[in-house]
Structures are given as structure tokens and as C-alpha cells.
Chains A and B, each alone.
Chain A
Amino acid sequence: MIQISNLRKSFDRHEVIKGLNLSVNKGSIYGLVGVNGSGKTTVIKHLAGVYRADSGTIHLDGAEVYDNAKAKARIGYVPDDLYFFPSYNLKMLGQFYKRIYATWNDKRFAELMKLTELNPKNRVSRFSKGMQKQAALILALSICPDILLLDEPIDGLDPIVRKRIFTWMIEDVADRQMTVLISSHNLKEMDGICDTVGIIKNGSMLIEQDLDELKADMQTKAISEHLPPTLDEIFVYVYESGVKND
């Protein structure tokens, strides 16, 4: 279980995250949504242990994540801005990950590589952006993490690869109760895959709820007549009206 309480973070005296709360249940696929600059990436970087909170706590099963190797070993993280060692190919990266993550699974890595069209002998830094994203995803999935953090994973991927990645993710959620947190502004895609959503604006959480319940609640408001609203419509409504849940 992931729990962020009252997180605050400033960069150069500019407060980006303003007392944000967030919680994700084990085995959930959680969609973190918000406009550009609302703080999605900053939140994820705190969860990954990259940033240190100014105040507030970031807990993974009750333990603080920052500077905690044990907690971080359980997390697979695919950032939006990817970096690969210049001379490494995918195979070498796999060996590098294996040295770092005790839960690394060679068999899984081999299987996933076979399912993509990526050449394991080519330098990853020379891959196209979409191919790099795929490479990062199969590396993260081969760790067999308890928590998978995906920052804008859908951007730049073709529909076939997207479907493939969702299928792998679904397998791990069903088999091992992996917890997934995805940030995106592709709300249509999130609508179909997430069970819970968190809508953030200006560094604080506006609404965090089970998606089906949220839709049922929003149906009573006049967003769209009769039918349950889509996540798209809910998002626009929440942003414009500024409604909040507690």
C-alpha cells in the first residue's frame, strides 16, 4: 500500500506540491491525472525516492521510501524522460539491472524481449523514442516489482505496443497483485484500464476515488444527461468547478 500524507515540495521558493495526499491499494491500477504542470511527475519522483519531501511522508507499507534501499528494491519506475548509458545495448542493460535487483527474472526478460521487435544487440541510446520506452518498460517488468510507477507511458507508443504492454501489466496485477500507478493525460486510455483515479490540480489532490463510484456520483450532477459520464467529462467538470472530496 502506498500512502502520501501532506506532501509539500518547493523548487526555488516556488511551491509545486501543496499538502498533497494520495493512497493506492495493493493490486490496484491507479490513474494519476492532471493538466501539464499540475505536479504529476513531481509526485511520482517522490514515490520513486528520487526527490526528498520538504515536509510530509511518503510511505510504502508503512516505511519511508526516501533513502530506503529495501523499499526502492520493490519499485519499478519508468520515467517520462528516459536515460540510458550511451554504449549499452538491451542485453547489457538487463545484466546491469540483474546486479541491482534481487528479484530480477532472466526468463521473463528473455520472453519480453522476444515479444518486442527490439534488437537486444543494438545500442538502446540509438533506439527511437517509442522503442526506448518499450525497452524501459520491459526492464521494469523484468524486475517483477511489487509497485510499478509509469510516468506518461502511453506517449509515443503505437496502438499495438500499447496493447501489448497493458496485457503484460494485467498479467502481473492478476498473478502477483502488483500495484500500478500511471500518470497520463490520455484519459480515454485511462478510463478503460484504471480502477481508481486521482485528479490533481496545482499540486493538490482534488478527487481520489474508485472510478466506477466516481462515475456514479458524477451522474447525479448534470455533466452528461442520463448516462454515466466518461473520465474525460469528469476531468473537465472537476477542473472547472473545483469540486473536492475529503
Chain B
Amino acid sequence: MFQIDLKNRKPIYEQVVENFKKMIISGGLNQDSRVPSIRDLAKTLGVNPNTVQKAYRELETNGYFYTVLGQGSFISAPPESLTQQEIAELYKALAEQIHELLFRGVTITEVQKFISEKFEVVNNDSDK
């Protein structure tokens, strides 16, 4: 499924959350598919079940998972639309990344080129 990097300073539960988000966004996990039980994932990754539980709770709170009592957790439908706050947060994160790129000497033109290229890729994908 995915690996946990114990050398990474990022808390393990955050790594679990991020990996799931990535898989959901990239389409690796489909809506209504079942996610591994806490026990199985903890065993596979070799991490504390309480940590996995914490990650699942967060994914559920943020609308990525839903839980059916006695049956486990499943992937939710994509959220209808982002809240204003979520949009603001994502833009803020984007701005920080761009600032770092500029600071490290990448030109604004290069960044713009990158974005338009990426955007074309996304457009082509949705045409199919």
C-alpha cells in the first residue's frame, strides 16, 4: 500500500493521513472502496494501532472516510465544493511554495510555464 518513513520527522499519523489523501486524489482509491482495518494496516506498516486510529479519525473528520458500524471504513464521495477557508489555506500553501522557488532563484516565468503546462495536462485528462 504505502510505507512509513521512520526517519521522517513528520508524525506517523500525519504520514498515514497524507498517503491516503494522495491515493484518493490521484484516483488510486475509489469512492466506497473499503480501507484496511486499523489492525491490518497497523500490522502491515508495523506501527501502533492507536496511531492508525488517530489518522482514520482525522480522515473521517475531514470527509475523506466514512465509517459503517461493524463493517469498517470506506472512501467518501468527493466533497461537493471547498469551503472558503479551505480554498484560502490551499492558496496560502501554494504561495509559500512559489515564494520558496523564487527565493531559490527560479524565475517567475519558469513558474508560470510550469503551471500552464500542468494545467494543460489536467485539461487533457478531463477531456478523455
Q: Which residues from chain A sit less than 8 Å from chain B, CB to CB?
A: 27-29, 163, 166-167, 170-171, 173-175, 188, 191-195, 212, 215, 224, 227-230
Contact = CB atoms under 8 A, between A and B. Distances in A.
Contacts of A174: 38-39, 42-43, 49
A212 B13 CA distance: 9
B99 to A, nearest CB: 15
27 contacts: A28-B50, A29-B50, A163-B46, A167-B43, A170-B42, A170-B43, A170-B46, A170-B48, A170-B49, A171-B43, A173-B42, A173-B48, A174-B38, A174-B42, A175-B39, A191-B6, A192-B6, A192-B12, A194-B48, A195-B50, A195-B54, A212-B11, A215-B11, A228-B9, A228-B10, A228-B11, A230-B9
A64 B16 CA distance: 39
Contacts of B50: 27-29, 173, 195
B46 A167 contact: yes
Nearest to B10: A228
Nearest to A226: B9
A228 B54 CA distance: 18
B55 to A, nearest CB: 11
Nearest to B54: A212
Interface in B46-92: 46-51, 54
B11 A192 contact: no
A1 to B, nearest CB: 15
B7 to A, nearest CB: 9
CB-based closest 9 A-B pairs: A174-B39, A174-B49, A195-B50, A227-B9, A192-B6, A212-B11, A29-B48, A173-B49, A170-B42
- Interface majority SS on B: helix, strand, loop or mixed? helix
Nearest to A219: B9
B11 A195 contact: no
A173 B38 CA distance: 11
A171 B39 contact: yes
Contact of A193 (B11, B13, B48): B48
Interface string B9-27: 1111100000000000000
Contacts of A171: 39, 43
A194 B46 CA distance: 12
A188 B10 CA distance: 14
Contacts of B54: 195, 212
Nearest to A195: B50
Contacts of A230: 9
Q: Which one of B13, B48, B54 has the highest number of Cβ atoms from chain A below 10 Å of its Cβ? A: B48
B9 A195 contact: no
Interface string B90-120: 0000000000000000000000000000000
A171 B41 CA distance: 11
Nearest to A228: B9
A28 B51 CA distance: 10
Contacts of A228: 9-11
Contacts of B39: 171, 174-175
A25 B54 CA distance: 15
A171 B46 CA distance: 10
Nearest to B52: A174
Given A167-B43, A174-B38, A192-B47, 20 more contacts: A27-B49, A27-B50, A28-B50, A29-B48, A29-B50, A163-B46, A166-B46, A170-B46, A174-B42, A175-B39, A192-B6, A195-B48, A195-B50, A195-B51, A195-B54, A212-B13, A215-B11, A228-B10, A228-B11, A230-B9
B47 A193 contact: yes
